[in-house]
Each structure stands twice: as structure tokens, then as C-alpha cells.
Amino acid sequence: MKPVKLGLLGLGTVGSGTANVLKRNSDEITRRAGRGIEIVAAAGKNLDSHQCRDVTGMRLTEDAFSVVNDPQVEVVVELIGGTTLARELVLAAIDQGKHVVTANKALIALHGNEIFTRAQEKGVIVAFEAAVAGGIPIIKAIREGLAGNRINWVAGIINGTGNFILTEMRDKGRDFQDVLAEAQRLGYAEADPTFDVEGIDAAHKLTILASIAFGIPLQFDRVHTEGITGITREDVAYANELGYRIKHLGIARRTEQGIELRVHPTFIPERRLIANVDGVMNAVLVSADAVGPTLYYGAGAGSEPTGSAVVADIVDVVRAMTTDPENRVPHLAFQADTLADTTILPMEDVKTSFYLRLRVLDRPGVMADITRILASLDISIEAILQKEQDDDTTEADVILLTHEVREGNMIQAIREIEALETVKTPVIRIRLENLK
Ligand SMILES: NC(=O)C1=CN([C@@H]2O[C@H](COP(=O)(O)OP(=O)(O)OC[C@H]3O[C@@H](n4cnc5c(N)ncnc54)[C@H](O)[C@@H]3O)[C@@H](O)[C@H]2O)C=CC1
Ligand SMILES: N[C@@H](CC=O)C(=O)O
Ligand code: NA
């Protein structure tokens, strides 16, 4: 049988990783796919600076549309990034009946509903394993491996850059900007790194995870999103002292009232495996009714780890090319006409525990005022720690861990606590999850 012909859009970190993995492992990949796979055309902007080790047989061009429109190309691999041009290229490929593989989580999170509808009409596959947690085969695990389960919740460290920054800051006391620059050099960060540090990239990925876990449409605009820029050394140190680690998590949870979709820094007990996932590694913990908890761990970013996921999708597409479209694995795990219109919970109705830190005047009655406000809003306290400041005997840090509370109540309590004359700084709050 003739080899399958690919058109590669993007020759950057992931594009070159994909090309290199395909070339190096071509014998085994061919034995798995049942056909040879070759890149016949590739587009990139700075063609002199690509990292592909061997471009034999590839027509290199700056014109991405010429690759999509190349009559030889049967499968388009989109690794350019962004959502405007990438959307046009992907829709053009679909309209020509070409299958698509992409690592672009922003594209899927924002335009996936449109893209999958069009793909279904045209009977083509749009595969996106590399879009979530890089090299970890998490899409396949949830969509296929857990197909017998009702999934209760998914919680993941799903941004490699952010986890790399938090780890280096905690372990080596390094400066935020310095570690971010290194993540950019290593090819982990997005073209706009605020996507990594402000939680947007993780929200893109959580949108996708929630869809395939619960059978709901992609709803990026419903994700509550916070990044890691507000995390301070003090909170990292207090977390350690209290037996926790701060991790940036994406959480999608099904409750009786609706689905929670949230991305934010989180206190996690240090004895949990996921609390010990460091550096650029990602991990996704899935709680499902039949299998119980399962944990998926691996490189969340980087050239060949992400290339590994792209190539796995290419192999899947090649294997499925001859299958009747009706009998393929549905894009979002559930048959498209069965996606549910489940309520997404407003953040103020989400219940979590909290870590609170505030600076107070060290005088009698302060604690009583704070605990009175918390009690009046149904917030019960799990632990309190008071720390005198070495340099100032008139002020102290108060650290509180609470039991589960409705977010709206916590916002109100913080408003009232901050209005106390004895409270000197805004209250720092970080949500706390036991992940049991
Ligand atoms: N870097 C990583 O570790 C991961 C990246 N991704 C995703 O993979 C995609 C690619 O990311 P990277 O490889 O890191 O980006 P990159 O910036 O290293 O590479 C982008 C490539 O696209 C080319 N390109 C951009 N605009 C173009 C245009 N108008 N015409 C032709 N070529 C154009 C650039 O020249 C470059 O070759 C993004 O969607 C990203 O979110 C997903 C998982 C991991
Ligand atoms: N910028 C992303 C790349 C992979 O998706 C990350 O750091 O996780
Ligand atoms: Na993946």
C-alpha cells in the first residue's frame, strides 16, 4: 500500500518534534499503522531556523494554504498555533475532505464545536491528543479507556510552564521572570506566555477535558480562570509548614447542582501523588465510578513529548481512514447528538475549603472578631496558626484553614474581615482540595 501523505503546518517546537519522531521511528510506526507515513509538504515562517533533522522529501514553503490545498496531502497536521489562521486552515482542510491532527488547545476550546460539526458533515477526523497535557495520552484514556464509567471529577496539573515555574521557585528560590524565560527557551511556553501564567492555557485544556469527561459541548467562556502570578513565597512556605503543596489545577467536577469548571492555584495535601508532580511534568487525576481514581503522568510540554502525541493521532487517523465515519470514536467521546445541556455552576455556588492569610494588629479580640464573622457565614475552621513577625512585634500573620464553604459566603466573609480596623492587609485566599 502507498504511504499516507501528510502536510505539516508549523515547523517550530512541536512541528519539528513531530517530524523527528516520525522519521526516527518510521519502521515501528509503519508496523503499527499498517501503512508508511510521509510528510510531503511543510509550512513555516522562518524556514532557515527549523529544528527538523531530516527534511528529505518535504516541500518547504511559507504558504500554509498551499500545503492544505496540495492535492497529494491526505492528512493536515496543524502546529502553527493561534485561533484565526489556524481555524481557517483547519476548516479549509475539512472542506476538502482531509483529516486533521492538531495540538492547538486554544483552537479546539474556542472553535471545537464548529470544527467537529463540520468534520462530522464531511466524514473526516479531527484529532487533538497533543492539545491536553502534551505527551500524556489523556484524551485516549478518558474517551476510550474509561468509556464504561460515569466520571465524577477530573483534576489536573495541565500547564507545564506554570508547574515548572512553581517548582523552581519553591525548590531553588528562583525568580518568577527568570524561570519563565527559561521555559520559553525550552519551548514549553505559549507564543504569548501570559496564556501560561494567567491560567488561560489550562482553561483551554480543562474545557476539552470537561467535554470528553461529561459529554457536554466545549464552553471555554464558562471556566473560572486564575493564574499563578499572585502566588507568593510566604504562601509557598506556609503551605509546606502545614503539610501542603500549592499546585495550579484545572478542576471539572459534576455535582447535583451542575458542573464546576475552574482553574486556580490550589493547596493539596503533600501526601497525594499529584502534589509531587514537579517541573514540566503534568498529571491528570480522574475519579470515575467503576474504576475509582486513576492518575496519568508525563511530560506536559516540549518538542518530542508533544510530538509523541501528535504521531499517535496520525497513526490513529491512518488506521481509521478506511472505517465508516459513523463507526469511529466520536470527537468529544459521546455521540454528537447526545451532548448534554448540563448547567455550569456559577463560581459563587462552588464549595471548597480555603487557606486564608492575613496580617493583623497583635492585640486581644482580633481573633474573636475574625472567627465571629466566619461563623456568621457558616464557615467552620479546621486550623488556625498565628505567627508573630520577627521585625515587628505589633503585627502578626494569621493563617486559617477552613472546612468546605460556598464561595459566595467566603467572598462576603473576606469583605467583612478586610473592613476590620485591626486587619492591615487584604486577605490572601487559596482554595484547598483534598482530592479524595
Ligand atoms: N510547545 C509545546 O510544548 C506545546 C505546544 N502545543 C501547541 O502546539 C502548537 C505549536 O506550538 P509550538 O510548536 O510551541 O510553537 P512554535 O512557535 O515553536 O512554532 C510555530 C510554527 O508555526 C509557524 N508559523 C506561524 N505562523 C505561520 C504562518 N502564518 N504561516 C506559516 N507558518 C507559520 C512558525 O514559523 C513556527 O514554525 C500551538 O498550538 C501550541 O499551543 C501543544 C502542546 C505542547
Ligand atoms: N504552554 C503549554 C504547552 C503545552 O500544552 C504548557 O506549558 O503546558
Ligand atoms: Na495528551
Say what the pLDDT of residue 40 is.
98
pLDDT tens digits, 355-391: 999 999 998 999 999 999 999 999 999 999 998 877 7
DSSP 177-213: HHHHHHHHHTT-S-SSTHHHHTSHHHHHHHHHHHHHH
Q: Is 301 in the pocket of ligand 2 (CB under 6 A)?
A: yes
* Ligand 1, pocket residues at CB < 6 Å: 10-15, 43-46, 62, 64, 79-81, 85, 103-105, 130, 134, 187-188, 190-191, 301-302, 306
pLDDT of residue 389: 76
Residues 205 and 301: their CA atoms lie apart, in Å, by 13
From CA 254, how far away is CA 376, in angstroms rounded?
A: 28
Query: DSSP labels for 63-119?
Result: -HHHHHT-TT--EEEE-S-SSSHHHHHHHHHHHTT-EEEE--HHHHHHHHHHHHHHH
Active-site option among 23, 205, 351, 436: 205
What grid cell was written down for 333? 467521546
d(CA 435, CA 157): 13
Q: CATH number for the 4-135+304-338 domain, one of 3.40.50.720, 3.40.50.2000, 3.40.630.10, 3.30.450.20?
A: 3.40.50.720
CATH class as words, domain 139-299: alpha beta
Q: Which ligand is nearest to the CA of 18?
A: 1
Is this prediction's ipTM beyond 0.95? yes
Indicate if ligand 2 lies below 6 Å from the C-beta of 160: yes
Pick the CATH number of 349-432 from 3.40.50.720, 3.40.47.10, 3.20.20.370, 3.30.70.260: 3.30.70.260
Could you report the per-residue pLDDT of 250-302, keeping only the tens digit for each? 999 999 999 999 999 999 999 999 999 999 999 999 999 999 999 999 999 99
Residue 392's pLDDT is what? 66
Active site residue 205: yes
**Which amino acid would we find at residue 303?**
S
Among the bound ligands, the one closest to the CA of 307: 1
Is the distance from CB of 374 to CB of 414 less than 8 angstroms?
Answer: no
Phi, psi of 126 (to 5 degrees): -120, 110
> Which stretches of the chain drop beneath a pLDDT of 70?
392
Burial class (CB in 10 A: 0-12, 13-18, 19+), 328: middle
| Residue 17, helix vs strand vs coil | helix
- Is 9 assigned a ligand-binding role in the annotation? yes
Whole-number Å distance, alpha carbon 301 to ligand 2 midpoint, is 5
Measure the CA–CA gap between 422 and 373, rounded to whole angstroms: 14
Q: How far apart are CA 163 and CA 287, in angstroms?
A: 22
d(CA 137, CA 117): 24
Chain centre distance of CA 306: 14
pLDDT at 390 (0 to 100): 72
* Domain spans, the chain: 4-135+304-338, 139-299, 349-432
What's the CA-to-centroid distance between 159 and ligand 2, angstroms? 5
